[in-house]
């Protein structure tokens, strides 16, 4: 036999469960889960790049600190210079399409870099070209991705929660990418870090 308080508690719990289920349905219908997957995949790749790029410059190409700094700058400079223009474009085009194009170009760029490294044909100039290309693509991908978030947020007014989940996906994926790449670099160089 239940008392009035127990019935209210059960009713509250069932409403809470119902709202969670409804929230999951809304997230599926808006594509928020897909958004988080792509967001995480992007930052997983960039987590790998955070370790791999300096490794390629300093260890593989054996460049000095000045050229290392210039290479790092080449990776960030296009994004810094072009991000406002990227935001301008993202406000005026289909952001989903823009993000698909940016991700596709980035994958192609990563594959070309991988092919150059595998073939032993990597040069400092090619690595700078890679950095400038990825930095430019990022200047357009970031605003498109951020704009798309407001369209796929799980519920009206749920943008704060969506931003929190996107931030968790970003940081978690970067850490996984960084950790995985660091382990690979450490194993390939034979050092015990």
- Burial state string for 116-129 with b = 16 or more CB within 10 A and e = fewer than 16: beeeeebeeeebbe
User: Hey, is 123 helix, strand or coil?
Assistant: coil
d(CA 3, CA 1): 7
Q: Name, in order, each residue with C-beta under 8 angstroms of 137's C-beta and a sequence gap of 6 or more.
A: 102, 105, 106, 109
Summarised one tens digit per residue, pLDDT across range 102-147 is 999 999 999 999 999 999 999 999 999 999 999 999 999 999 999 9
Average confidence (pLDDT) per 10 residues, the chain, 193 residues: 49 47 53 90 88 93 97 96 96 94 95 95 97 97 92 80 89 84 67 43
Q: Name, in order, each residue with C-beta under 8 angstroms of 69's C-beta and a sequence gap of 6 or more.
A: none
Summarised one tens digit per residue, pLDDT across range 123-132 is 999 999 999 9
d(CA 184, CA 187): 5
User: Hey, is 70 helix, strand or coil?
Assistant: helix
Q: Name, in order, each residue with C-beta under 8 angstroms of 165's C-beta and a sequence gap of 6 or more.
A: 32, 36
Looking at residue 176, what is its pLDDT? 85
Q: Considering the chain, what is the average pLDDT of its residues?
A: 84
Q: Domain map of the chain by residue range? A: 35-189
d(CA 185, CA 180): 9
């Amino acid at each position: 036999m239940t008392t009035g308080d127990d019935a209210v508690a059960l009713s509250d719990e069932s409403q809470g469960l119902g709202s969670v289920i409804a929230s999951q349905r809304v997230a599926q219908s808006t594509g928020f889960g897909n958004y988080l997957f792509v967001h995480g995949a992007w930052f997983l790749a960039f987590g790998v790049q955070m370790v791999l790029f300096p490794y390629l410059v300093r260890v593989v190409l054996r460049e000095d600190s000045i050229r290392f700094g210039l290479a790092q700058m080449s990776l960030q400079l296009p994004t810094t210079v072009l991000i406002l223009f990227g935001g301008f474009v993202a406000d005026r085009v289909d952001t989903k399409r823009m993000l698909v194009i940016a991700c596709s170009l980035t994958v192609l760029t990563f594959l070309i870099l991988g092919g150059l490294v595998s073939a032993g044909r990597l040069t400092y100039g090619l690595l700078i070209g890679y950095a400038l290309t990825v930095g430019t693509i990022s200047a357009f991908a970031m605003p498109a991705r951020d704009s798309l978030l407001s369209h796929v947020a799980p519920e009206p007014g749920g943008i704060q929660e969506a931003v929190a989940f996107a931030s968790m996906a970003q940081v978690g994926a970067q850490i996984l990418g960084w950790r995985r790449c660091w382990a690979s670099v450490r194993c390939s160089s034979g050092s015990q870090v």
